[in-house]
């Protein structure tokens, strides 16, 4: 039917050209920072003042430098990447694992304490992680000792404290959009609650879980605030911290090409996961968040 309508009313050529022009203009603005950073990362001169978008010649020296010695501290790139990956994957898996059953319960069951519980989630959701950082810092320091606080595990714990409420809330929002009839049909066929949850709910909620996991991963992989405050031991530095460290306070001291190469490296895993899950993104996020 859409094809028919297309055939009946083709787009006038003038509109087509104007629209293409507008779209190309937007594309230029969208893509410019990306090209700028890629160009800079391939620039062999490692200069503070690039004069054009395209470097005179291409070299992978900056990438090589970043991969062999990313920071002035004695910490390898593999170590940084591992720390970031532990944080990203750990936060993403733990929040989804712990949060899924709770999200299901909040969406489907009616029980005493449901409303206060949800209210608590909404209130905690509004708190930016920066806001509880003081208490978490003090508590982890005293309860687990400074050496664990000063590691990726202290940061991970603190992150989960903020990521878990979001995960539960977002997944609850997604489960809300799944029709109840399917579960009712399963119950009529004699499935227990647990069977319904594992065999029917989980497969249906997979897009919601995937998007929630993606957000956990993105948050962990690029975590900065907590890491920068909690971690002083270079062994536990993350990619985000190394990237920030490279930027320096004065532009003239910044190794721009290395900074650019690092930016590209940090972005790639996120971009891959994002585009893989893109078709779930809008539904998985917009339905969460606000539906009370």
Q: Going by C-beta distance under 8 Å and a sequence separation of 6 or more, which residues neighbour residue 93? A: 213, 216
Query: Between 76 and 134, whose beta carbon lies closer to another protein?
Result: 134
Query: Between 72 and 128, whose beta carbon lies closer to another protein?
Result: 128
Residue linked to tokens 């930027």:
247
Residues 88 to 107 in contact with another protein, rule: CB under 8 A: 98-99, 101-102, 104-106
C-alpha span between 41 and 261 (Å, rounded) = 5
List the one residue from 22, 78, 185, 206 that touches another protein (CB under 8 A): 22
Segment near another protein (CB under 8 A), from 55-63, 68-76, 202-210, 261-269? 261-269
First to last CA, the chain: 37
The nearest distance, CB 214 to another protein, in angstroms, is 10
Query: Between the CA atoms of 15, 16, 19 and 21, what dihedral angle is there, to the nearest 10 degrees?
Result: -110
Question: Are 70 and 82 in contact, with CB atoms under 8 Å apart?
Answer: no
**169 lies in the binding site for another protein (CB under 8 A):** no
Residues 175 to 194 in contact with another protein, rule: CB under 8 A: 193
The widest CA-to-CA distance across the chain, in whole angstroms, is: 73
The nearest distance, CB 111 to another protein, in angstroms, is 4
Q: Which two three-digit tokens encode residue 52?
A: 């054009």
Of 111, 218, 213, the closest CA to residue 171 belongs to: 213
In this structure, what DSSP letter does residue 129 have? G
Query: Between 58 and 286, whose beta carbon lies closer to another protein?
Result: 286
Query: Between 5 and 74, whose beta carbon lies closer to another protein?
Result: 5
C-alpha span between 153 and 230 (Å, rounded) = 10
Helices 206-221, 152-176: crossing angle, 10 deg rounding:
150
Question: Are 262 and 66 in contact, with CB atoms under 8 Å apart?
Answer: yes
The nearest distance, CB 208 to another protein, in angstroms, is 15
C-alpha span between 147 and 97 (Å, rounded) = 27
C-alpha span between 77 and 222 (Å, rounded) = 15
Residues 61 to 80 in contact with another protein, rule: CB under 8 A: none
Question: Are 186 and 197 in contact, with CB atoms under 8 Å apart?
Answer: no
List the one residue from 4, 5, 116, 189 that touches another protein (CB under 8 A): 5
Residues 204 to 243 in contact with another protein, rule: CB under 8 A: 218, 221-222, 224-225, 228-229, 240, 243
The nearest distance, CB 204 to another protein, in angstroms, is 16
Number of residues this chain uses to bind another protein (CB under 8 A): 107
List the one residue from 32, 76, 147, 206 that touches another protein (CB under 8 A): 32
List the one residue from 27, 58, 182, 185 that touches another protein (CB under 8 A): 27
**276 lies in the binding site for another protein (CB under 8 A):** no
**158 lies in the binding site for another protein (CB under 8 A):** yes
**203 lies in the binding site for another protein (CB under 8 A):** no
């Amino acid at each position: 039917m859409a094809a028919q309508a297309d055939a009946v009313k083709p787009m006038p050529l003038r509109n087509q050209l104007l629209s293409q022009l507008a779209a190309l203009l937007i594309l230029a603005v969208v893509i410019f920072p990306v090209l700028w950073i890629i160009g800079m990362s391939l620039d062999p001169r490692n200069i503070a003042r690039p004069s054009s978008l395209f470097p005179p010649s291409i070299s992978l020296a900056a990438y090589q430098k970043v991969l062999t010695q990313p920071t002035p501290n004695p910490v390898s790139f593999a170590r940084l990447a591992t720390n970031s990956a532990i944080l990203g994957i750990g936060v993403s898996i733990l929040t989804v694992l712990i949060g899924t059953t709770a999200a299901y319960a909040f969406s489907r069951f009616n029980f005493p304490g449901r409303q206060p519980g949800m209210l608590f989630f909404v209130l905690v959701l509004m708190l930016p992680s920066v806001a509880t950082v003081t208490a978490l810092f003090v508590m982890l320091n005293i309860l687990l000792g400074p050496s664990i606080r000063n590691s990726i595990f202290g940061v991970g714990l603190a992150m989960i404290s903020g990521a878990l409420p979001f995960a539960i809330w977002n997944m609850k929002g997604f489960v809300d959009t799944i029709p109840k009839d399917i579960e009712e049909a399963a119950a009529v066929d004699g499935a227990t609650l647990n069977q319904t949850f594992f065999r029917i709910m989980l497969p249906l909620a997979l897009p919601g879980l995937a998007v929630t996991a993606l957000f956990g991963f993105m948050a962990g992989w690029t975590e900065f605030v907590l890491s920068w405050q909690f971690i002083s031991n270079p062994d536990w530095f993350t990619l985000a911290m190394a990237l920030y460290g490279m930027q320096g306070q004065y532009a003239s001291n910044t190794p721009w090409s290395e900074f650019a190469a690092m930016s590209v490296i940090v972005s790639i895993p996120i971009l891959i996961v994002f585009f893989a899950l893109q078709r779930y993104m809008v539904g998985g996020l917009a339905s969460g968040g606000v539906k009370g």
